[in-house]
A and B are shown apart, each in its own frame.
Chain A
Amino acid sequence: NAGVTQTPKFRVLKTGQSMTLLCAQDMNHEYMYWYRQDPGMGLRLIHYSVGEGTTAKGEVPDGYNVSRLKKQNFLLGLESAAPSQTSVYFCASMSGNYEQYFGPGTRLTVT
């Protein structure tokens, strides 16, 4: 099992550009999450999904959109990147016993 994978690992964007981060899990988990982590802070929830075709807002959803067209994939989109979105982004999925499994992260820099 690969667990949770994220693509890409690194990306540099210019202000106003768009991009999509892809998260994939092979554990058949219903719940999936997107977090951002900034220096000195814990993880903050951006959006999450409780199953295929569903999405919900987390703590910091502004400037991001998500889609869960397939159970194994959860996409995070930035339509018009801003320097404030420079961060490390983590995807996670949750098992039936409430444990979350994390991907390796995507380091995004917006200049």
Chain B
Amino acid sequence: SQQGEEDPQALSIQEGENATMNCSYKTSINNLQWYRQNSGRGLVHLILIRSNEREKHSGRLRVTLDTSKKSSSLLITASRAADTASYFCATAPPAASKLTFGTGTRLQVTL
């Protein structure tokens, strides 16, 4: 079963706008990660946030984690057409030996 559930399933915005994706999960975690997948390609790691962290930034990416609500959000600021992709959250259990992926959010950024 999927640990993470992303919301929304699909998101369409214009270039320059911000994109926010949410992820909810069910059990205790060591860390939560976000990955990007361009059509027909393998996944690429974007950012990792540990269970004792609340917010993390990397370039135009901002991730928040609320362990009390078992939820995370990924914000992409000033979106570009090149950001068009599917975005997946993935959770690592306390032993952190493997990841469980959500079903993903398809982001379309139009010019």
A: which residues have CB within 8 A of B?
4, 31, 33, 35, 40-45, 48, 50, 58-59, 90, 92, 97-105
Contact A31–B42 (Cβ < 8 Å): no
In the bound complex, CA of A65 to CA of B102 (Å): 24
Residue of A nearest to B45 (CB): A99
Q: Contact check: which of A41, A45, A97, A101 meets B48 at CB < 8 Å?
A: A97
- Which of B4, B42, B44, B101 has the most CB atoms of chain A within a 10 A radius of its CB? B42
Number of interface residues of B (CB under 8 A): 26
How far apart are A86's CB and chain B's nearest CB, in angstroms? 16
Which residues of the other chain, A, contact B41 by a CB distance below 8 angstroms? 104-105
In the bound complex, CA of A50 to CA of B98 (Å): 9
Contact B98–A58 (Cβ < 8 Å): yes
Contact B96–A45 (Cβ < 8 Å): no
Contact B43–A102 (Cβ < 8 Å): yes
Contact B101–A43 (Cβ < 8 Å): yes
In the bound complex, CA of A50 to CA of B35 (Å): 21
What per-residue 1/0 map shows which CB atoms of B84-102 lie under 8 Å from chain A?
Answer: 0000101010001111111
